[in-house]
Amino acid sequence: MPQHVDVLIVGAGLSGIGAAWHLSRYSPDRSFVILEGREAIGGTWDLFRYPGLRSDSDMYTLGYSFEPWTDCKAIADGPSILRYVNEVADKYDIRRHIRFKHHVVSADFDSSTGRWTVEARRTDTDESVTLTANWVHMCSGYYNYAEAYLPDFPGQEQFAGRFFHAQFWPDDLDFQGKKAVVIGSGATAVTIVPEMAKGGAAHVTMLQRSPTYMVSRPAVDKVANGLRKMLGDKASYSVVRWRNVLLQQAFFQLARRRPDTMKRMLRKGLLKELPPDYEIDRHFNPAYNPWDQRLCLVPDADLFAGIRDGTVEVVTDTIETFTETGVKLTSGRELEADIVVAATGLKLQLLSDVAFSIDGVRQQLNKKMTYKGMMFGDVPNLSYSFGYTNASWTLKADLIATYLTRLLNHLRDRDVQIACPKQQPDVAEIPFLDFTSGYVQRALSILPKQGDRAPWKLHQNYALDRLSLKLGKVEDGVMQFARADARAVPPRSLTKEVA
């Protein structure tokens, strides 16, 4: 007989650990388990190993609302973030709820019992494991851990050096004294390039097809550190968190409403960091408006420092072909390289490509409309965590976990088992994300839709989402509640195993 749990969380990264804390705190009567396909906590922060791995959001907003970030650096490196997530898991006794090496493959909802039957594959033994759950909460992120986006570059088989995607950084790579070309202009490239230069590479070239907007910011927030000494960890964390949320939203709204003003502000910052005769318009003046794609953060202006001292070069061009000794560009120039790193983007997937079905009928979630950015129209007892594209991921993940506990408690109080947002046919569909970034545009066909009005619209606004998810009514006329027709015989519970 399958083992049963009230809530099954998929993924033990930032979102999954946060959701577990919320369940323990606000729905302590619910048993839960976390299934994690890998063998460690941390998700992204455990997977990526490239040099300089860091957040591109400050840790006062990327950190959990309930656990203050106390390190001196606001823009933290990957190992520090991974340590923080592990410390939270241990401090709040969450690790014992995690089953590692369990990759979820499928889930079928039985309308008569109001339960999911979830099939997982043990990645260490390849055996199949079956569990049942009243609710499934997906915290698996939004990109494929096993594959990355890698264009088929002409002639790449000719290259005699090392060539790989940044997502799969080799442990044995020695770039001391080597010439490196990093293909890309997003956050990954902007992180790797200065780190390789500072780490002993002879020269590092960032080869970009088109420019990206970039903004520099100190890694250490002196005001936040000063407030922590005055107010203590908890009070200062709350103050700085709200300050950063409001500043970020003001920055985003200015970019959307007055893009030319924002362009001038960003250009002014570049003029302060780059040499006087630098070709800013060629290398740092994108064709799109600010925040049509995510801005790249340059902590402590390290990329610009590398450009100034000559260890880093930015080249804006396209690849004609790889050669034995490097990369030949469309302009005719050849970039010599011992190492070529493809920082060409992520491959997105929806809810870890789990096959979801209802009463045996496969559901096409990409055809569904998202409800409050966390559920799907006409799909019961299934939620997911998806953070902001214009702010820290955890801000939205925290709010989603809060709403989930409110919803579960409401089900208990009404003695019903099923909650399902009813799709409204008069709501117009619009794309799930309005970013023009390549990784988003390539994935639009696999992502769900959003609506043109609440509760189907994605606000990308923390204040509005806080009103909706933390303070708004659970019974809003769209969310429908029902009792299961049949009461299943209680299977062997996981409560004792995970409690």
Task: Classify domain 150-344 at the CATH topology level.
Answer: FAD/NAD(P)-binding domain (3.50.50)
What pLDDT sits at residue 464?
92
What pLDDT sits at residue 27?
97
What pLDDT sits at residue 79?
95
What pLDDT sits at residue 143?
87
Q: Are strands 115-122 and 203-208 parallel, antiparallel or unpaired?
A: unpaired
pLDDT in tens, the chain (499 residues): 569 999 999 999 999 999 999 999 999 999 999 999 999 999 999 999 999 999 989 999 999 999 999 999 999 999 999 999 999 999 999 999 999 999 999 999 999 999 999 999 999 999 999 999 999 999 998 888 889 999 999 999 999 999 999 999 999 999 999 999 999 999 999 999 999 999 999 999 999 999 999 999 999 999 999 999 999 999 999 999 999 999 999 999 999 999 999 999 999 999 999 999 999 999 999 999 998 888 899 999 999 999 999 999 999 999 999 999 999 999 999 999 999 999 998 888 899 999 999 999 999 999 999 999 999 999 999 999 999 988 899 999 999 999 999 999 999 999 999 999 999 999 999 988 877 677 777 878 888 999 999 999 998 899 999 999 999 999 999 999 999 976 544 434 343 333 2
> Does the pTM of the predicted model rise above 0.85?
yes
- Domain segments of the chain as ranges: 3-145+348-498, 150-344
What pLDDT sits at residue 440?
75
CATH 1.10.760.10 assigned to 3-145+348-498: no
